[in-house]
Structure 1
Amino acid sequence: MTLYKKHKKTLMREWKFNGDDFLSYPYYGGNDLGVTYSKTHTTIRIWAPTANIVELRIYKQSQGGSAIRIDQFEQGENGTWIINLHGDLNGYFYTIRVNDNIGWLNETPGIDAKAVGINGHRGLIFDPEPTNPEGWDDDKRVHCDHATDAIIYELHVRDFSISPSSGITNKGKYLAFTESGTLSPDGLKTGVDHLKELGITHVHLLPVYDFFTVDEQAPHETYNWGYDPQNFNAPEGSYSTNPNTATRILELKMLVQALHKAGIGVIFDVVYNHTYHTRRSYFNQTVPGYYYRQKSNGTFSNASGCGNEMATERGMVHKFILDSLYYWATEFHADGFRFDLMGIYDLETMNQIRARMDSISPSILLYGEGWTADKSPLAETWRAVKTNVSRLYRVAVFNDDFRDGLKGNGFDPKSKGFVSGKTIQEENIKFGIAGACFHPQIVYGYVEHSKSPWATEPWQCVNYASCHDNYTLYDKLVLSSPEASEEEISRMILLAGALVLTSQGIPFLHAGTEMAYSKQGDHNSYKSADEINQIDWKRKKTYNQIFQYYQALINLRKTHPAFRMISADQIRKHLIFSSDYQPGVASYMLVNHANEDKWRTILLVFNGTRQPITFKLPDRIAWRVVARDTTINLESTKYISETEIEVSGISMLMLVED
């Protein structure tokens, strides 16, 4: 129930609510919310159970001007309101305004809008057929037999192409992904050709739904990652060549189609945990209070750290999220979804998302951040936090234990990790190597964040060294190791990549890491300039050794199933950690054709110290050297017969028994 006070003879909303009142709101289970278009008529249905009048306004343009037509909705079943309009309204804009007995709320496109005009303030009525590119019916998702087969590459649409060094024409746009043959000033591949050359299986796109803080009329004047949601079902217009029309839908589909033709899946980053505005959000301007959790005093709770959090456990919030994901998965042929601050979501919603996606394709990947940014009034036992991952069905979470063990705490620029020479990180590293699953040889008391395994199977664990948040891997290593030479920093990046890409679980790479991506030390670049965030393609030549090493690691992982086992039982059966402890060193063997690998035995030694070490080898095995120092060669013919071997500082050694 909303409380109000009088202020200068006008009723002002206190925006305080009793959450128990929402239990009496009716549930609508239909699949026709939003705009349904045909050339002869258009139907719009919204859910607004507290309304007593709902008004529709039609406009010729997306901004300014007066409505050319004003109509009222009729009350429908289960809290819905519906209106039928005759004639072809393709290309017209609309807003919806709700009166809830207290007064008129703001005009909005409605929460279900699938197309909007400039800056998302008015909805667009559109014919969906022309938004399909040629050949769209034949577009196919990238199929993964197992989630652990995926190699994910996190990327911001604008960062990918905006640099003058990208050689791409449609800089900062969806269409940049449709260009081929693009080259850096040094003649090296850029764009999608670079992604194919690198070998990753999936691109994870930072948010591409309509977000608030970039002016779509002048997109180069501001920048944002996109974690400021406005219209969840409409593509962002600043990445389109014509944001005032349904072209933004067509061009995003062209991006997906181009990546699919390159054999690369597309994962959408989704942010159903909060909205940019709270009181002025389109949710609160439709059904005040319902879509958000409240504190005991009736004010909005804030587990997102952004001013609010969505009440995913409430029936129509739950339905909105499932319907939205179904739309993105079917209309845009999504290959997966990454959930921002997934620890805000309730477990039942996440598991029903998995079931809904399975009805489309079981290969759709689902993963997210298993934490929140602040406290939530919903008890942790019911939320999709990292410690509850065993209660999630085929949904993975990020392994921050491994991340911080590799490079140090992301919020402290001076802290070091395993690859930068800090010892007593070995159990953190073993934790990641085993995909956060239980392994009897891990001493969990020495794992920094988690004192017990939280994954029951490796496909519940996403291993990574860096992502869009905090410092890039290169910047973090430079800041934490100011005494290190550029060569040593490069070797640290190689070692971090080696650990991520040979460990069990799902590997995740931050775009540009393979060429020492730098944001000039900016640790929170969510609204920084392009000069900070852009991928500088000239670095591909400068750090080509890193690129080639990551390329070889990806090929190794794709070629050898031992590095992507599909169960924790397999890991415990085939992965044996070395009992010969050396500070700053992690080593293990994969034995007996792990996961039906053609190699019988694989020995890996990771030396995080700057000094060479001597490693004793098991007897009676003819070892072939596959990786040593900065080189990986799967076809190597070099064998060693010694009983011990020197492992260089900051490097991975890999020996195999064929």
Structure 2
Amino acid sequence: MGSASAVRPPEAPDATTQAEANAQPEAAAQWIDRHTLAWKADDAPAGTRTRLDYGGPDGDHLRLTPVRGGLTDEQRAKYPHLKEYAAFTVDPRDRARVPEAVRGRLVVTQRAADGTVRKSTGVQIPGVLDDLYGARAAKAALGPVFGADGRPTLSVWAPTARHVELELDGETVQMRRDDATGVWSVRGEHGWRGKPYRFRVQVWAPSVRKVVTNEVTDPYSTALTADSRRSLVVDLSDRRLAPRGWDGLRKPAATPLGDARIQELHVRDFSVADKTARQPGRYGAFTDGGSDGMRKLRELARAGTSYVHLLPTYDIASIPERTRDQARPGCDLGALPADSAEQQKCVGEVRDKDAYNWGYDPLHYTVPEGSYATDPDGPQRTLEYREMVRGLNESGLRVVQDVVYNHTVAAGQDPRSVLDRIVPGYYHRLLADGSVATSTCCANTAPEHTMMGKLVVDSVVTWAREYKIDGFRFDLMGHHPKANIETVRAALDRLTPEKDGVDGKRIVLYGEGWNFGEVADDARFEQATQRNMAGTGVATFSDRARDAVRGGGPFDEDPRVQGFATGLYTDPNSSPANGSQEEQRKRLLHYQDLLAVGLTGSLADYTFTDSGGKRVKGSEVDYNGAPAGYTASPEEAVAYADAHDNETLYDALAYKLPADTTTAERARMQVIALGTAVLSQGPALSQAGSERLRSKSLDRNSFDSGDWFNALHWDCRAGNGFGRGLPPAWDNEDKWPYAKPLLTAPALAPSCTDIDGTSAAYRDLLRIRATEDAFSLDSAAEVQREVSFPVSGGTEQTPGVVVMRAGDLTVVFNATPEEQKQPVRALAGQDHALHPVQAGGADETVKSASYDARTGTFTVPGRTVAVFTGR
């Protein structure tokens, strides 16, 4: 560490003319290390001088010299998106002033011999900041850190700031800058505990082109006042924040990722409509063992569910945290017709001010959301969050937290912008012109930058150590570098029960490995995408089997496109989007190939006979131009039929199955679709309530649709959520012509028999999965040896039926409306019987499934998943 320097006085205003300011509409140059600036500049005439102006009363600048041949091979490898840029090196005589220059207003200019500015642009600085400070700053402890003597030290990384002060409980406290790290810090007193604070940061802000003084909360906050107005000096090891038995908390036995059975759940959805919950919509609802919701979760845990995956629970930007400030719809929603547009209109009038949001709009990454606590003003939310974790653990469930480090809710000088108001232009990923990339929906962060990557790691470790979180699901993980996720994994692996109170090696990691946006195809770094994560032990969601099961894709113009579990070819609807009968048959058989690959854990090298009779690897099966199989191990693909994104499974079936399909038949197709995930190799995830035919009244993107469209209904007499009005126009209006005639259809209002029967049949499949080792194979080699599809590719292959062998088990997925006979010649003469769980289970229909040992033929009723055991 370098020595700390005294606080620098504020500099004089930048001596830049208004004309020069107007000539700088972008930041197209990138300062990638202390010696090198990359700029896609045209060849300049002889006599042109290039320089980097950084303001000040004397027009301070650094001289730049063009580098013949451009960037070095090493620089091109580090910045592949800049490989065609010209390179300029900082004159050796000026290099000592580089740390000073990065704190000013940066403009690179080309000037003619007479001094006239030919061309100018602003400068992006993440590379040079990482080069100057990254290695040492990455080792710094940021945020509030309490010493052995109980005194706190508050530290913030602000290398470009001209001055930083601490505003503590209304008083101003000076901070000191460490020139080696760019960290400003101050050591406090015992009396600082519990006090509110902010940083007052004076810094050049490119977004407004002036020096500003930002009063901003701590990115490393551990506690907040209500609505995130101030950070709090809180020690998470304070005994007052530990619930009963916290230090000795006994967790359910750790389930390896490859065998994880995950229920995806939103904190508010879970209990806000539960009349038996004492704290509806709050963390405390998970401590209420007598509520309907907790009884249902315990049922799932006993059947084999091992994890609850909580949608975002960090500090959310869009929810007023005090109950008194939360708006409510001003109409009688329940009195309106099932196909009315009034419900969504009424919900929409308050959606920016109500208590509901999914929470994919992070404000502070490492503080629990306050609206789910009984008191959002202070550290009570920490205590109640820990009580929630304890309550779920004591119910037999481990806890996964959904984390969203790929974007922030805002950037620039927006009041909700935390990171960018401390180090402007650093924490976010910038496009070629210097604007903030928004491909993730909001202001994309840049975990490829050292200190953003550090924030990700430090935050995850804090949640694991201080809140005993058992797993993390990374939103849009493909926007992270693979190296960043591997660093997270390594940091968790270092946590031990003796030192940290948790076994980090047992913490599971998975995420969305989608490949899109400005980082697509490894444009800037090796991404944490589906294919790239093969071999890491970190799982990604596999959309291959999901689309095969449901049909089409989530963004189809016509939502009636059918798939394996929605009647393609075997029970066609009226949509012309499905094509001719022959086209449907061909597509259905290809979907069955995709499903087969999915059932193996999306293995790239798994070899089987496809529907055309050809021996292929999983990676050779086409999925919209990409390989269907992409993993190296079955634990690396999360199988699922639905999640919070897009229509719920029940709503997808509502669109896709023929309109006259009965609710009982819809319920059976729901079990088939869910069963394809439950009985896959590798982890399986389902959206909470899908086992109870959960609907969101056809809303495909309910992130801001309020409790009316989102709430879970544990009492079947309240229905399943279908027919609560036309889904909100702001993201569903194009589907209204398809939705309106469905919402009043009697065939789409399930009975308690339908709902409870689906739940029971799903739990039977969970029990089979949890108790049969054949579904928990550890390696690709084991899957190749133990799993096969014996009628695939032959003349006996039936469209709408998939037969899978897994060890001594035979699974028949019959998605057709009729009973099907499936001969497996190799099994003739061997004894098989319906699995005991199903033979003694809740589904009366599956009990009629049979096996003829003489011919090796399995007979399975229509719309049924049947599991047979060898004897």
TM-score by length of 1: 0.90
Deviation sequence 1:584-641 (CA, Å, 0-9, x none)? 11112123xxxxxxxxx21111112222222114311111122489739999998754
Q: Does 1:78 align with 2:181?
A: yes
**Cα RMSD between the aligned structures?**
2.8
Q: Which moved more, 1:408-417 or 1:224-233?
A: 408-417
Q: Does 1:457 align with 2:633?
A: yes
**Contact kept? 2:601, 2:631, Cα under 8 Å:** yes
**Contact kept? 1:434, 1:503, Cα under 8 Å:** yes
Q: How far apart in 2 are the matches of 1:105 and 1:634?
A: 69
1:344 alignment partner in structure 2: 479
Q: Does 1:295 align with 2:441?
A: no
Code of the aligned partner of 1:341? L
Q: How far apart in 1 are the matches of 2:16 and 2:445?
A: 26
Code of the aligned partner of 2:202? N
**Contact kept? 1:584, 1:609, Cα under 8 Å:** yes
Q: Does 1:649 align with 2:865?
A: no
Q: How far apart in 2 are the matches of 1:274 and 1:638?
A: 53
Q: May I ask how many residue pairs the two structures share in their alignment?
A: 632
Q: How far apart in 2 are the matches of 1:15 and 1:286?
A: 20
Q: Does 1:427 align with 2:593?
A: yes
Q: How far apart in 2 are the matches of 1:92 and 1:17?
A: 43
Q: How far apart in 2 are the matches of 1:4 and 1:155?
A: 55
2:277 alignment partner in structure 1: 168
* SS state at 1:176 partner: helix
**Contact kept? 1:406, 1:419, Cα under 8 Å:** yes
* SS state at 1:362 partner: helix
Cα distance 1:451–1:24, how it changes in 2: closer, same or farther (>3 A)? closer
1:544-559 matches, within 5 Å, as: 544-559=756-771
**Contact kept? 1:475, 1:520, Cα under 8 Å:** yes
CA shift at 1:411, angstroms?
A: 2.7
1:538-549 matches, within 5 Å, as: 538-539=715-716, 541-542=752-753, 543-549=755-761
2:311 alignment partner in structure 1: 206
Instruction: Compare CA radii of gyration and give the structure with the larger one.
Output: 2
1:356-505 matches, within 5 Å, as: 356-360=491-495, 361-372=504-515, 374-376=517-519, 379=523, 382-390=526-534, 393-408=536-551, 409-412=553-556, 413-422=559-568, 423-424=588-589, 425-437=591-603, 438-441=605-608, 443=610, 447-449=622-624, 450-481=626-657, 482-505=659-682
Residue of 798, 803, 817 corresponding to 1:610: 817
Code of the aligned partner of 1:417? G
CA shift at 1:291, angstroms?
A: 0.9
Q: Does 1:56 align with 2:166?
A: yes
* SS state at 2:509 partner: strand
**Contact kept? 1:4, 1:12, Cα under 8 Å:** no
Q: How far apart in 1 are the matches of 2:153 and 2:432?
A: 39
Q: How far apart in 2 are the matches of 1:577 and 1:224?
A: 43
Deviation sequence 1:288-338 (CA, Å, 0-9, x none)? 1111111111211223122x2221111111111111111111001110000
Deviation sequence 1:212-268 (CA, Å, 0-9, x none)? 001002346231000001000111000000000100001000011111122211000
Q: How far apart in 2 are the matches of 1:224 and 1:372?
A: 26
**Contact kept? 1:265, 1:335, Cα under 8 Å:** yes
* SS state at 2:216 partner: coil
Q: How far apart in 2 are the matches of 1:83 and 1:9?
A: 38
Residue of 145, 154, 167 corresponding to 1:44: 154
Code of the aligned partner of 2:360? Y
**Contact kept? 2:164, 2:174, Cα under 8 Å:** yes
1:283 alignment partner in structure 2: 419
Residue of 125, 128, 131 corresponding to 1:24: 128
Cα distance 1:5–1:515, how it changes in 2: closer, same or farther (>3 A)? farther
CA shift at 1:89, angstroms?
A: 2.0
Identical aligned residues as a percent = 30
Deviation sequence 1:554-592 (CA, Å, 0-9, x none)? 11111111011111100100112123311111112123x
CA shift at 1:10, angstroms?
A: 11
CA shift at 1:32, angstroms?
A: 2.1
Cα distance 1:106–1:606, how it changes in 2: closer, same or farther (>3 A)? same
Q: Which moved more, 1:580-589 or 1:6-15?
A: 6-15
2:260 alignment partner in structure 1: 150
**Contact kept? 2:549, 2:641, Cα under 8 Å:** yes
CA shift at 1:13, angstroms?
A: 9.9
Q: Which moved more, 1:313-322 or 1:610-619?
A: 610-619
CA shift at 1:388, angstroms?
A: 1.2
Q: Which moved more, 1:628-637 or 1:98-107?
A: 628-637
CA shift at 1:403, angstroms?
A: 0.7
Code of the aligned partner of 1:610? P
* SS state at 2:859 partner: strand
**Contact kept? 1:516, 1:539, Cα under 8 Å:** no
1:595 alignment partner in structure 2: none
* SS state at 1:97 partner: strand
**Contact kept? 1:42, 1:88, Cα under 8 Å:** no
**Contact kept? 2:850, 2:860, Cα under 8 Å:** no
* SS state at 1:382 partner: coil
Cα distance 1:318–1:8, how it changes in 2: closer, same or farther (>3 A)? same
Residue of 211, 232, 254 corresponding to 1:124: 232
Q: How far apart in 2 are the matches of 1:10 and 1:144?
A: 59
Identify unmatched segments of 5+ residues in structure 1.
60-66, 592-600
Q: How far apart in 1 are the matches of 2:567 and 2:366?
A: 46
* SS state at 1:631 partner: coil
**Contact kept? 1:111, 1:231, Cα under 8 Å:** yes
